[in-house]
Amino acid sequence: TSVVQVTATDADDPTYGNSARVVYSILQGQPYFSVEPKTGVIKTALPNMDREAKDQYLLVIQAKDMVGQNGGLSGTTSVTVTLTDVNDNPPRFPRRSYQYNVPESLPVASVVARIKAADADVGPNAEMEYKIVDSDGLGVFKISVDKDTQEGIITIQKELDFEAKTSYTLRIEAANMHVDPRFLSLGPFSDMTTVKIIVEDVDEPPVFTSRLYSMVVSEAAKVGTIIGTVAAHDPDASNSPVRYSIDRNTDLERYFNIDANSGVITTAKSLDRETNAVHNITVLAMESQNPAQTGRGYVAITILDINDNAPEFAMEYETTVCENAQPGQVIQKISAIDKDDPPNGHQFYFSLTAEAANNHNFTLQDNKDNTATVLTRRNGFRRQEQSVFYLPIFIVDSGSPSLSSTNTLTIRVCDCDADGVAQTCNAEAYILPAGLSTGALIAILACVLTLL
């Protein structure tokens, strides 16, 4: 195979004898290379040169005039020949098997091991890929390649559990990514090795049987009422006994207690759904032999409602009645609220109290839709006679048992315009100097303003 051609020049007259007739010979570089005497073409002299054995050669080529005869003059040059790589070497693992120990607490995606198959080639010819061809832990591990170092990186895909499985065996293949078909006869360009991963036991905290416990209790429950039970166990082979406690940061008012041995949760104080309808508490489970190992369980306690709140006015009403009001005139529509939360919704019943039922001023009409209407029963209200009326209204809910309350509606008598809009509600407005009417006073003020 031709490598390169060298050319020597001679300043002598080429037409004069052999003074400028040059022949080439190789002084250094045999037996690997040769040079054609007349042309200076350098060629390989041995087949199957091996870059992995020697990748660079220094040749010394001589050019001699006088056709190489005695008395001729000569000059030399050096030629550096570098062999380029071809993929003629398969990857090979230096060991048939590997073993690594890893703790069961190692997080998912952590690196378990790095293995590397040796490849005498370089560059793209040495690039390889790794894959797990057989494993007794499907999906537990995966292997990828480090592009810079061509190492196979084994990582965890799932959490390890010493109590479930103490070791895994992986069959791993390394194969060249760029195979040269000319060298397939040398055999497969891949290699196999076995990796055994030993899982080491780690003292683990207790584990609860459920990630979240849901419990319910009535707000009428007495102190000491059992609400429910949590359970945790030590996942280690030692299976140490577990003791329970409540994280008081999640139960600052200490509404609940827990039995340290059984995990039974009970009430420690009276409960009020209207104050707190759901209590989210954290239960701690500690190993008796090693209290530093603590597991956490979460409990949501829902407080069931009872009818323990009486209904009341939905707001503070500012009710007025005009002096010229007519009988049967609506002066106020009222509604009620109740802090309880009955399953079928609220139903309120409105009436006047017994002492107010026969009054001659106002009456009450229950609208059967959780509202009631206050109406006048007469006309001729006068502020100078009575400026404020107090109407006691009796409200009953539909709970079992039902609760009731008496709420007082304050009604003020007001002077109104023609549209029934209150102008003034103060009784003092009637005490006018010298018996002058409001109209007279306005006229006098208008005159004063005109004069000014």
Q: Over range 129-148, report the average pLDDT.
A: 94
The pLDDT tens digits for 258-283 are: 999 999 999 999 999 999 999 999 99
Phi, psi of 124 (to 5 degrees): -55, -25
**Is it true that domain 97-200 has CATH number 1.20.1730.10?**
no
Position 434 scores a pLDDT of 45
Percent of the chain surpassing pLDDT 90: 72
Nearest to 40 by CA among 3, 81, 83: 3
Whats the size of the chain, residue-wise?
A: 452
> How high is the pLDDT of residue 435?
53
Radius of gyration of the chain (CA): 52
The CATH H-level (homologous superfamily) assignment of domain 312-430 is: Cadherins (2.60.40.60)
67-106 residues labelled b (16+ CB within 10 A) or e (exposed)? ebeeebeeeeeebebeeebebbbbbebeeeebeeebebeb
User: Which of the four CATH numbers 3.40.640.10, 3.20.20.300, 3.30.70.100, 2.60.40.60 does domain 2-82 have?
Assistant: 2.60.40.60
> So what's the pLDDT on residue 96?
96
Give the count of beta carbons closer than 10 Å to the beta carbon of residue 368.
Answer: 11
Average pLDDT estimate for 85-102: 94
pLDDT at 428: 57
Q: What is the pLDDT of residues 149-165, one digit of tens each?
A: 999 999 999 999 998 89
Over residues 405-431, mean pLDDT: 82
> How far is it, in rounded angstroms, from Cα 407 to Cα 352?
10
Per-residue model confidence (pLDDT) at position 433 = 47
Global pTM value: 0.58
The answer to whether 140 touches 164, Cβ cutoff 8 Å, is: no
- Encoded tokens for 222: 């007495």
**Region 63-73: what's the mean pLDDT?**
85
What superfamily does domain 207-304 belong to in CATH?
Cadherins (2.60.40.60)
φ/ψ (deg, to 5) at 322:
-80, 150
Answer with the residue of higher pLDDT: 41 or 344. 41
pLDDT at 167 (0 to 100): 95
Top pLDDT among 139 and 429 is at 139
Sequence spans of domains, the chain: 2-82, 97-200, 207-304, 312-430
